[in-house]
A = this chain, B = another copy of it.
Amino acid sequence: MNIQGASKQTGLPAKTIRYYEDIGLIQPDRAANGYRHFNTRDLHNLTFLARARALGFTIEDCRALLGLYEDESRASAEVKTIAQKHLQAIEEKIRDLQTMRETLSELVTSCHGDNRPDCPILSDLGGASQD
């Protein structure tokens, strides 16, 4: 299967697939004319990568996970450790964003948003204490 086919089947852009080969995540064969040829295992691995990336794992996490995926003698504890760390990172990011959201939401609500220049958003950003 050529790269467009692999792209359609996995949902990954062809550019991304080439990039994954570049950085050594997959090693598709080449046809005589130089075209990449994706076999079942390649397609499996690409699907795996697509799912892992969709869950927010970094490329390096994906590399490790894919290695474990292909290693029949892995210990599931290794997988769990990676996933747990990532889960904690996600939870921290959510907390950060929620803090931002609360502040921003208050500011947006308090701004009348008309032609007049006075604006609590700018006042707050400028360092004024709010009350």
Contacts and interface: CB of A to CB of B under 8 A. Distances in A.
A47 interface: yes
A96 to B, nearest CB: 8
A108 B126 contact: no
Interface string A67-89: 01101111111011101101100
B80 A121 contact: yes
Interface residues of A, number: 53
A14 interface: no
A127 B47 CA distance: 7
B51 A114 contact: no
Contacts of A79: 111, 113, 119, 121-122
A76 B125 contact: no
* Minimum-distance CB pairs A-B, first 7: A80-B113, A76-B119, A77-B113, A80-B111, A75-B115, A51-B125, A87-B104
